[in-house]
Amino acid sequence: MDYLFNLLIIVGIYSILAVSLDLLAGHAGLLSVAHAAFYGLGAYTSALLAVQLGTPFPFSLVAGILVAGLLSFVVSFPSLRLHDDYFVIVTFGFQMIFFSILNNWMSLTGGPLGIGNIPPIALFGFPIRSSGSFFVLVCVVACLVYAVVFLLTDSPFGRVLRAIREDEHLTRSLGKNTLRFKVTAFAISAGLAASAGTLYAHYMTVIDPTSFTVMESILVISMVIIGGAGSRWGPLIGAIVLVMLPEILRFIGMTSSVEANVRQIIYGCLLIGMVLFRPHGIAGKYGFGR
């Protein structure tokens, strides 16, 4: 049962990451490879606050979101003025720089050793210790995140984002300050990703830079694309598929090192396959670039 809850918690965390990226990549068409950086920002901020200052969960959650949202401006300022491919490359660059900082700034982040002894979450004085109760917490946070994203995408704000995705010049000619919309979407996306990071940090109780690499960003991108970009449930479906599918491999009896590679190969093939044959993904409304 614990195993199942563990799996569901991972699915929950990734579904938050996927839907927050979808707001940016699926609706606004901005394919950011820096998502893992904001995920990590949330995780490290909450971890540091909890370990050094004993900050309780709801505050560390909000703090993580704010830090990520604010730092997103550092990334969006240079990158959002650039066209398609260059935007992707700049976000790539920021992701690598962020990883470098995590790995090398020993005094702040503990470097490769990361941060340990993160205290479990205690809500209203009740510590959340079992996987089952943590899963409920993840669900609550995920529902909130999804609600926020749905509200945004169903609103005029969402419509403008999609218009920007389809034709930015036309949108600007209609009088919309597209830069402002893009920067806002970027900040919200970053903040929501940070919330997933907070959950991850408290669940794992130990975090290190290897969880927040470029490959992680690419994994989340894969979830968005495979599940279906720009749709309501696509990101969730993508998260479920990409987390659950490799678990089936365990039952075929591969050794763990082989299993890790095969899992990644499946991810890569799914990504290539989707892009070639079904860019809308499983449930998407936006076929990337077709």
Partner 1 sequence: MITQLVLNGLVAGATIALVSLGLSLIFSVTRMFHLAHAITITVTAYLAFLLISTLGLPTIIGLFIGVAGASAVAVGIDLFIYRPLRRLRASSHVLLIASLGVVIVGQNCVSLVFGDETKALRSTDVAVGHLFLGARITNLQILTLVLAGSICASVIVVLKRTALGQSFRAMSSDPELAEIVGIRNERVIFAAFLLASAIAGVAGLLLAYDFDLNPTMGFNPVLLGLTATVIGGPQSLRGSLLGALLVGISQNFAGWVLSTQWQDAIAFVILIMFLIVKPKGLLSRAKKVVI
What does the binding site for partner 1 look like in residue numbers (CB under 8 A)? Answer: 31, 78-79, 81-86, 88-90, 92-94, 96-97, 100-101, 103-104, 215, 218, 221-222, 225, 257-258, 261-262, 264-265, 267-269, 271-272, 275-276, 279, 288-290
**Cβ-proximal residues to 162 (8 Å cutoff; 6+ apart), any chain:** 27, 28, 230
Nearer to partner 1, 120 or 268 (CB): 268
Nearer to partner 1, 74 or 143 (CB): 74
Nearer to partner 1, 12 or 235 (CB): 235
Nearer to partner 1, 65 or 216 (CB): 216
Q: State the minimum distance, in angstroms, from the CB of residue 116 to partner 1.
A: 21
What is the Cα–Cα distance from 215 to 188, expressed in whole angstroms? Answer: 22
Determine the residue type at 181.
F
Q: State the minimum distance, in angstroms, from the CB of residue 10 to partner 1.
A: 19
Nearer to partner 1, 56 or 287 (CB): 287
Nearer to partner 1, 203 or 288 (CB): 288
What is the Cα–Cα distance from 239 to 235, expressed in whole angstroms? Answer: 6
Q: State the minimum distance, in angstroms, from the CB of residue 288 to partner 1.
A: 5
Q: State the minimum distance, in angstroms, from the CB of residue 15 to partner 1.
A: 20
Q: Do strands 126-127 and 122-123 pair parallel, antiparallel, or not at all (unpaired)? A: antiparallel
Of 2, 4, 28, 13, residue with least CA distance to 158: 28
Beta carbons within 10 angstroms of residue 184's beta carbon: 18
Q: State the minimum distance, in angstroms, from the CB of residue 154 to partner 1.
A: 25
Q: State the minimum distance, in angstroms, from the CB of residue 170 to partner 1.
A: 14
Q: State the minimum distance, in angstroms, from the CB of residue 253 to partner 1.
A: 16
Nearer to partner 1, 93 or 132 (CB): 93
Q: State the minimum distance, in angstroms, from the CB of residue 26 to partner 1.
A: 12
Nearer to partner 1, 59 or 86 (CB): 86
Angle of CA points 113, 115, 116, to nearest 5°: 100
